[in-house]
Structure 1
Amino acid sequence: MDDTTDVTDGADEPGWDVDPQDEIAPAVEMAGAQLRAWREDAGLSVAEFARLIGYSEDLVRKVERGARIPRPEFLDKADRTLKASGRITAMKKVMAEARYPKKVRKLAKIEAQAVQFEMYDNHNIHGLLQTEEYARALIETRRPAYSPDEVERMVGGRMARHSIFDRSPAPELSFVQEEVTLRRPIGGRMVLRRQLERLLEVAQLRNVEIQVMPTLHEGHAGMGGVIEVLKFGDGKAVGRSDGAFSGRPVSDPKQLRILELRYGIIRGQALSPRESLAFIEQVLGET
């Protein structure tokens, strides 16, 4: 989908609708008010401004009243047209964060505070390890299908979470992936190859350990499904598992101990990090 679709194309207007109940609504409203002030100071009507930047009057009105999150291209054009010297384009960072789904923003905040991650995945490569093209192909498999706009929002949110690898001090990250996740060609063979290359790249980081659970293992402690445990600097933690506590997030120490016990056993049953890297390289060579 072209984010800069001209209004004469008759295509869907670019941007993301805002839920008035969402916590990001005030920030979007403020951005819209600032855009309106810039436009009025320039002596332009909504119709004139819309024509100059190549979008419809309806879209401009929605952005100005905070009902639509403007795309980066909209802000760039507005900045040039209104001669704002970068003060409108400076809104792009906040607007980019605002467009991510609410649950993604919440997850990103939690991950930003965690100092230790323990993740076991049995169907797909974990989101923090996914390439953009793998994430897009995976999200597009969901049924009922998401709209193109929803797909882009989800992919953008998932990629933004990758900033975890740039944190300082760096958190400790441990991943255990089922062998099948390395072989299922989500998005096709080349997408999978680049995904496997990404795993090998991330595994070189000193704070990251990736292990593989071979399919030939008769059974292991992760047969109940996904396990995720995040630990924080104050000693608290939160965890979740498909196979425990109805899949709900838990923070009670007794419940967390069960998840940590299972994860510890899974790590012990999986290939070692060194063996896992060799295994991933082997799969890459066969793909």
Structure 2
Amino acid sequence: MSGNQGTQEERPERPSEVDGTAHLFSALGKIIKTLRRNAGLSQAELAQSTHCSEDLISSIERGVRTPQPDFLMRADKALGAGGVLAAAVDDVREALARARTRHPDWFRDFAKAEAEAVALHYYEVQAVPGLLQTEAYARAVFRHRRPLYDEETIEKRVADRLARQAILEKWPAPTISFVVEEAVLRRPMGGRGAFRDQLRRIIEIAKLRTVHLQLMPTEREEHPSLGGSFTLLTPRGRREVAYTEIYGHARLITDPEEVRMYAERYGIIRAQALTPHESLAAIEKMLGEL
């Protein structure tokens, strides 16, 4: 289901804490904050200079989100850091590589292809796509899974999921689109308070100029793909592939004819879904109704 695989509810678990590299990202966050202040820049101004969101800058400075290598290079220039941030790029790459190897074996090939893709298209029928999930929503997904995960596994899975979201921060950005069934956003996973935050997160991402997000209304009388969720992705320098996942049974599909069928379905789904503008308005209305 498009990479959609819950405990310490009060304390956010950083992706890096799982493999012991929290100190690296925490230290980088403090350094970036100090350099920004010394440069006389606000978080919003640094965000504009580095082609990312103000929320991301805040999260990085607090050590909650991982600063990606390309961000560090842009920030080094924007802050006049003289190579201080650029010097950390190799260490960050190594930490991110370790994070990717934490994924379950059956998911690892997809996670690697996803991280390297230049185009990503997600169709989701069961849960909010993993790249859009908040920490609370992701934890609820893993906590309620059957058979039950132990607490350590839950925390690792949540951390891995949040680490994948670095794709949304890459620059140059890959082509990213989502089509989500309306029913997904009618199920308040994690409770109404947590789900409000989830809808706000979706709205935030839907407003990014690098993302196209569409809602598929339940009232549609025709539908080209009732077989479940899937993902289409194009690795750099290679042909488009498709990915499906049902109860942990994953398929990374490379056969050109089968991939073409998934691409055709996705095209029709997008044509039948609400436009991005209509989708954003509909989700904002849902948020207002909670």
- Normalising by structure 2, we get a TM-score of 0.64
Q: Which residue is equivalent to 1:101?
A: 103
- The 5 A counterparts of 1:1-287 are 72=22, 93=95, 97=99, 100-103=102-105, 105-241=108-244, 248-287=251-290
The superposition leaves residues 7-61 of structure 1 with CA deviations (integer Å, 9 ceiling, x where unpaired) of xxxxxxxx98xxxxxxxxxxxxxxxxxxxxxxxxxxxxxxxxxxxxxxxxxxxxx
The AA in structure 2 aligned to 1:100 is R
Structure 1 residue runs of 5 or longer lacking an equivalent are 3-14, 17-68, 77-89
Give secondary structure in 2 for the equivalent of 1:248: strand
> What is the CA distance between 1:247 and its match in structure 2?
6.3
State the shift of 1:138 in Å: 0.9
In structure 2, how many angstroms separate the alpha carbons of the residues matched to 1:128 and 1:71?
22
- Structure showing greater Rg: 1
Report deviation, 1:172: 0.8
The 3 A distance-change label for structure 1 pair 162 and 249 is: same
Distance change (3 Å), C-alpha of 1:242 and 1:93:
closer
What's the offset of the Cα at 1:234? 1.4
What is the Cα deviation at residue 242 of structure 1?
Answer: 6.2
Q: CA contact under 8 A between 1:121 and 1:225: conserved in structure 2?
A: yes
Identity, in percent, stands at 41
Cα distance, 1:99 vs. partner?
A: 7.5
- Structure 2 distance, partners of 1:71, 1:160, is 13
Give 3-state SS (helix, strand or coil) of 1:177's partner: strand
Higher relative contact order (CA 8 A, sep 6+): 2
Identify unmatched segments of 5+ residues in structure 2.
Answer: 1-6, 9-16, 27-90
Instruction: Give yes or no for contact 2:134–2:201 (8 Å, CA) kept in 1.
Output: yes
Question: Secondary structure at the residue paired with 2:178?
Answer: strand
Q: Secondary structure at the match of 1:276?
A: helix
For each residue in 1:105-134, what CA deviation from the matched residue of structure 2 results, as whole angstroms up to 9, or x when unmatched? 543321121011111100100000101110
- Separation in 1 of the partners of 2:136 and 2:251? 29
Matched length: 206
Q: Deviations over 1:163-215 (max 9, x none)?
A: 00111110011100011111101000011110100011001111101100111
Q: CA RMSD in A?
A: 2.8
Which letter maps to 1:195? Answer: Q
